[in-house]
Amino acid sequence: MHTTDIKKQALQFARGRSALATMIVFTLINVVLELFESNLYFLFSATLPLLAVALGGDLAWEFYNNAFLIAGTALAFFGVALYFICWLLSKRIRAFMLVALILFAIDTIALAWLAIVFIPEFDVFFLIELAFQVWILVSLILGTAAWAKLRRATSDEMDATVQAIAFDEVMANDQKAADVLQRGETDGSIVSPRVNTSPLRDDDKKGRILVSGEQNGLQISMKRSRGLTELIVNGYVYDEVKGTLETGYTLFAHIQGTKITGIYQGVYMYIYVDNQLIAKKLRLY
C-alpha cells in the first residue's frame, strides 16, 4: 500500500475508535441517569445496557426484590465494560474493532426489534435515536474496513508510514519555531533552532524507560513516571506530556546546537537527533 493510503485508512480507523469512545461515555451517563430515574436521556448510546437496568427495575418493583435491579445494573455495567475493553485494546490489537462492531450490530438489531414491537405508531424521537445509532454503526463498519485494509500493508510499509508521520511532526515544529522567531515571540511548546532549551528539573530516576539512545555525547531517553512522559537528556528533564491514557505526542529539546525530538506514534517510540533516527522501540503497553 502507498503511504498516503495507509495514512487515510489509519485516520478512518481512528475515527471509528472516536465514535466508539463517544458511545461508551454517553451509554455510561444514560445508565447512571436510568438508575436515578431521571427523565434525561442522551443520544449516541447503546440500547441493551439501558434495557437491562430498566428491566431490572421493573422486576424489582413487581416482585419487591432489589436483587433484580442489582442484576440488571451489573449486566449494564458489564456491557459498557466490554465496549471499553474493545476501545482500549483496539489501539494496539485492531481486531477488537471488529468485536465492538459485532456487539453494537446486535444492539442495533435489538433497538429495531423493540421499536417494531413496542412502538407501533410513528415516533420522531425514535427515528432520531435510530439515526444516531446507525451513524455509530457506520463509523464502526468503516473503522473495521480500514483495519482490514491495513492488514494488507507489509510491516515495512507501516513502519515507513509511521516514520513519515513522525518526520512531518519534526518539520512542523521547525516551521512553527521559524514563525515565532520572525514575529519575535516566545512559546515554551516550540523549540527554537537557535536557542538552547532550559531543563525543567533533574531526573528523579523513578519510572520506566520507554526508549533510549546516545548521540553526540548526549544520553537521551523517554520515560514514563506518575502519569507523565518525560524527555530526559543527560539526567535532566527537558520536556513532558501529561495524561493517564496516552495518545500520539511529540517532545522537543535543543541542546548544544543539537535538536532532539522524542515521538510516540502508533505503537512505536522514536528518538530523532537533528532529524536523524537514533532509537526506535515497539511499545505494547
Model pLDDT for residues 65-107, shown as the tens digit of each residue = 889 999 999 999 999 999 999 998 887 787 899 999 999 999 9
% of the chain surpassing 90 pLDDT: 29
130 in the same domain as 243: no
- Which pLDDT does position 285 carry in this prediction? 58
Tell whether 110 and 174 lie within a shared domain.
no
Is there a single domain that holds both residue 8 and residue 138?
Answer: yes
Judgement on whether residues 166 and 134 belong to the same structural domain of the protein: no
Question: What's the confidence (pLDDT) of residue 168?
Answer: 58
Q: pLDDT, tens digit, for every residue of 164-221?
A: 655 555 555 545 444 444 444 444 444 444 456 788 999 988 888 989 999 988 999 9
Q: Three cell numbers at 79?
A: 456491557
- Of 88, 122, 150, the one marking the end of a domain is 150
Per mean pLDDT, which of 40-54, 71-85, 154-168 is the most reliable? 71-85
- Same domain for 17 and 49? yes
- Cell triple for residue 252? 522537543
Given this model, what pLDDT does residue 3 score? Answer: 63
Cell, residue 271: 528518538
Q: How far apart are CA 201 and CA 214, in angstroms?
A: 20
Q: Do 239 and 123 belong together in one domain?
A: no
Nearest Cα residue to 114 out of 173, 67, 47:
47
Query: Do residue 127 and residue 11 come from a single domain?
Result: yes
Handedness of CA 142, 246, 163, 95 (dihedral sign): negative
Which residues form the domain of 14? 3-150
The answer to whether residues 82 and 195 belong to one domain is no
Please give the tally of structural domains in the chain.
2
* 209 Rama class: left (phi>0) / alpha (psi -120 to 50) / beta: beta
Residue 39: its pLDDT value, please?
A: 76
pLDDT digits over 129-146, tens only?
888 889 999 999 998 998
Residues 90 and 208 grouped into a single domain: no
Query: Cα dist. 193→20, 71, 92, 173, 259 in Å?
Result: 40, 61, 34, 10, 7
Same domain flag for 84 and 113:
yes
Mean of the per-residue pLDDT values for the chain? Answer: 80
With 80 as the cut, is the pLDDT of residue 125 above it? no
Those residues whose C-beta lies under 8 Å from the C-beta of residue 163, and which sit 6 or more positions away, are: 270, 277
Q: Which cell is 207 given? A: 519510572
Residues 100 and 30 grouped into a single domain: yes
Domain end residue (candidates: 150, 167, 183): 150
Summarize the confidence of residues 35-62 as an average pLDDT.
Answer: 86
Asked which of 133, 150, 167 is the last residue of a domain, the reply is 150
Residues 115 and 194 in one domain: no
245-260 per-position pLDDT tens digit: 666 788 888 887 888 9
β-strand partners of 201: 237
